[in-house]
Structures are given as structure tokens and as C-alpha cells.
Amino acid sequence: NAGVMQNPRHLVRRRGQEARLRCSPVKGHSHVYWYRQLPEEGLKFMVYLQKENIIDESGMPKERFSAEFPKEGPSILRIQQVVRGDSAAYFCASSPSGSDTEAFFGQGTRLTVV
Amino acid sequence: AQSVSQHNHHVILSEAASLELGCNYSYGGTVNLFWYVQYPGQHLQLLLKYFSGDPLVKGIKGFEAEFIKSKFSFNLRKPSVQWSDTAEYFCAAGPRGTYKYIFGTGTRLKVLA
């Protein structure tokens, strides 16, 4: 019963480096969402993807952040030239359809920028 | 702007005490509502959800929530908590037909044995 798998669980990067966060959705789910949780805040929507398509990236910072969900392989959230303010927990979720359904979450990746 | 408010950030209870965690949302239309729980070191798990129908929703592990439309609330309840309920609880809401849910800031519950 494989749920949403995220790796790595913890990632430490120096300022200016790149961070790559991976997410494998529940088998059969083609809808993937990324959320970010800053300290003492709730989860904030970043981006919604279906296979090979970005549906909604309205919650993603305009610069340095990108996401993809290729035909084969996991979804990737990429943060270029990380800054201290990027330190957060990044959660991936998947669902079998795109609306009116629950999302299944991964354990998250905790990114620390030093 | 749409928002979800969880009133209690930290709650400490003794075992067998009753629990009620508040959740209010700001959205005038039809909403989908959720409570998720995150046990230490684990992923968020769905406790219960409300889409339509009976406003009193039963979830897993003895939890329930009541949707009160007039109060824009979806409070989580459990009559008797256990030590194993120690976790962080998140309320989430979104308009019907959406995929973009708004989460509250979470409530950390600690149950003392």
C-alpha cells in the first residue's frame, strides 16, 4: 500500500545551491500538488500538476522555483539559488481526480538553508 | 480573501478528557471541508471530510466534526482523548469544484498519560 513518497526527508543546502525535491504519487493518481509550510504557518498551495502539464502555479514564487511532473518518473520541485527564507517543509499530495476529492499527502521534505 | 482559522495553537489535555478544536473558514459559497492529522514524524492523514449531506461527520479513531453553515465552522470533537492522539491537527477548506485547499495554521495537541 504505497502512499505518496517524498525524498529526501531532510535536505540541507548552502545559500546559492539548488534544491531538488521528489514526489512519487499514489499509484494511479495523475494529479499532484505541492504545498509549503513555513514555521508557525499553515500549508500554502504552490502548484498543481497533471502528467506533463502545469495546471495552476499561482502559489509558486515567480523566480527560482519550478515544478514538473513528467510522463515517467516522479514530480520534481526545483528551487534554484536557495536563500534562507526557502527553509520550510515542502509537502506533496496526490489525488485520483482534480476536484472534490481528498488529497493524499507525503511525509514532506524539510529543507534547511544554511 | 479566503482563509481558515484555527483558534487554538496548542492544547494540552489529560487522557479521557473531551476535545473540541475550533475551525472557521471565510467563504460564502459551497465548501468542501477536511480535518487532517499529522502524528510525529509521519505524513498528514485524513481524519474526516465533508462535501455534502449530514453535517455531523464521523471520522476515523472516534473523531467527529460538525459543519455549521451559519457559523462558517467545522469544529473537530472527540469525547475521550488518548495519549496516542498527541499530534498536530489541520483544518482545510475550499470551494466546491476546487483542487486548491486552504489550510489553517494547525493545532498541536498534547495528551498527558
The full DSSP string for B54-98 is -SEEE-GGG-EEEEEGGGTEEEEEESS--GGG-EEEEEEEEETT-
d(Cα A50, Cα A39) in Å, to the nearest integer? 28
C-alpha distance from B1 to closest chain A C-alpha (Å): 14
**Residue A93 confidence (pLDDT) above 60:** yes
The per-residue pLDDT for range A31-90, each reduced to its tens digit, is: 999 999 988 788 899 999 998 899 999 999 999 999 999 988 999 999 999 999 999 999
Spell out which chain B residues touch chain A, with contact meaning CB-CB distance below 8 angstroms.
Answer: 4, 6, 32, 34, 36, 41-46, 49, 51, 90, 92, 96-106
Q: What is the pLDDT of residues B22-62, one digit of tens each?
A: 999 998 788 999 999 999 888 889 999 999 999 999 999 99
Q: Are A4 and A108 in contact (CB under 8 A)?
A: no
Output the pLDDT for position A2.
65
Q: Quick check: A30 pLDDT over 80?
A: yes
Determine the pLDDT at residue B1.
Answer: 65
Residue contact B99–A4, C-beta within 8 A: no
Q: Answer whether A42 touches B (CB < 8 Å).
A: yes
